[in-house]
Amino acid sequence: MIVSAKGRYALRVMIALAARENSEPVPLKELSAEEEIPHKFLEQIMTELAKAGLVESARGKNGGYLLTRPPEECTAADILRVTESTLAAAECADGGDCPRAGTCPTLPMWRALDEAMDDFLKKYTLADLVSQRV
């Protein structure tokens, strides 16, 4: 699995939101400048995160984005599932379109790797990642 720029940016912006101790909406322009993420690209990312229910947007003069749940309840896996087309180590790990899925000796290995990666990403909450900020 290679995490895309979209996934890395989504993690960074979610950490930035989690690091704020107040519950005031953070303007997109501020997040874009702070995290050095192109505004238009961040807008697309935030739309996806909002559709997934990880953030909510507030409109108006004091508008911006807020987390929808406490940082302790949102994991890296939650965020990357929204931004990445797959978190699978191999395309065939789900056995879907592979004609050899029933007899493939490597399929159990790919599935175990996927499970290990998912378990690993679930261990890291936004709160954990905020505490590791440099």
Give the tens place of pLDDT for each residue, 25-47.
999 999 999 999 999 999 999 99
Range of the domain at 44: 5-86+125-131
Structure tokens that stand for 52 in this block: 């997934």
Residue 106 lies in a domain: no
Q: Is 125 helix (H, G, I), strand (E, B) or coil?
A: strand
Residue 18 lies in a domain: yes
What letter would DSSP give residue 82?
H
The number of distinct structural domains making up the chain is: 1
Residue 93 lies in a domain: no
Residue length, the chain?
134
Q: What's the confidence (pLDDT) of residue 118?
A: 93
H runs (alpha helix) in the chain: 5-19, 28-35, 39-51, 76-83, 107-123, 126-131
Which conformational region is residue 95 in: left (phi greater than 0), alpha (psi within -120 to 50 degrees), or beta? left
Q: Is the model's pLDDT at 15 over the cut of 90?
A: yes
Residue 98 near residue 111, CB atoms below 8 Å: no
Which residues share a beta bridge with 75? 125
Instruction: Quote the percentage of the chain above a pLDDT of 70.
Output: 97
CATH code of residue 39: 1.10.10.10
Per-residue model confidence as pLDDT tens digits over 63-78: 899 999 999 999 999 9
Q: CA-CA distance, 85 to 88, in Å (whole number)?
A: 9
Name the residue among 131, 126, 132 with its Cα closest to residue 13: 126
Residue 92 lies in a domain: no
Q: What's the confidence (pLDDT) of residue 95?
A: 57
pLDDT mean over 119-128: 96
Residue 95 lies in a domain: no
